[in-house]
Amino acid sequence: MAVMRKCCFCWDLKVGGIVLGVFSVLFSLASIVYCIWMIVEMELQNWRGRPVVQNYYQKRLEDEIILYRLISEILLGIGIFVNIAIFISSICLIVGARTEKKSRILPYLIFQWLGIIGTALYCFFHGSTAVKEGRSQQGTITIVVGSVYIVLAFYFWFCVLALYQTIRDNQRHNPRVQHPQDRHAAYSPVQ
């Protein structure tokens, strides 16, 4: 049984799945560009040089900032690959919603989870790095915007899950919607 009947309280799940797939394609492309831009920006900050360290505490703070930036760059690099996978799985979601094939929707459900986890990790590290560097307003905004995105992503993930469950239930209860290999297996003689 599906966890919900309508997407965004007004659309049919099939239409909602197609719309969410299109938005996900656009958002994943924007996320790829953003990840690349952030990596370039961090590298430019490192390339510009570091200020002369006055004492031990400033040196230690600088080392922590370098570590946080390194972790952020690694997460951004992983984010690029995850967003490429989300892009491809979003196209599969659009096709799966249009043709009502649950196997096409499943990759989106898996990779969207990876995207949500990656976004949470990145927002935590990027926000804490900004706070460590003395940019607490930017860090707070990053964490708040990331949290809002995560909540929306969970809701949209549940909409797609409901579409998957509806298609699965329709295929179980409608004997005409069987795969060819299942139909032949049902009529094979017993040996």
DSSP letter for each residue of 12-68: EHHHHHHHHHHHHHHHHHHHHHHHHHHHHHHHHHHHT--PPP-SHHHHHHHHHHHHH
Q: Where are the beta strands (DSSP E) in the chain?
A: 6-7, 11-12
Residue 178 lies in a domain: no
Q: Is 78 inside any structural domain?
A: yes
Q: Which domain holds residue 162?
A: 13-44+63-168
Residue 92 and residue 112 in contact, taking contact as beta carbons nearer than 8 Å:
no
Residue 54: alpha-carbon gap to chain centroid: 42
Q: Is the pLDDT of residue 27 over 70?
A: yes
Angle of the 13-47 helix axis to the 56-99 helix axis, nearest 10? 150
Q: Name residue 187's amino acid.
A: Y
pLDDT at residue 76 is higher than 80: yes
155 in any annotated domain: yes
* SS3 state at 6: strand
Q: Is residue 56 part of a domain?
A: no
Residue type for position 167: I
pLDDT more than 70, % of the chain = 80
Which is more confident, 49 or 109?
109
Is 30 within a domain?
A: yes
Reading the block at residue 133, the tokens are: 């560097």
Report if residue 145 sits inside a domain. yes
Does residue 36 belong to any structural domain of this protein? yes
**Length of the chain in residues, anyone?**
191
Per the structure, the count of domains in the chain is: 1
Residue 19 lies in a domain: yes
Q: Which residues pair with 11 in a beta bridge?
A: 7
Output the pTM of the full model.
Answer: 0.72
What is the overall mean pLDDT for the chain?
81
DSSP 52: P
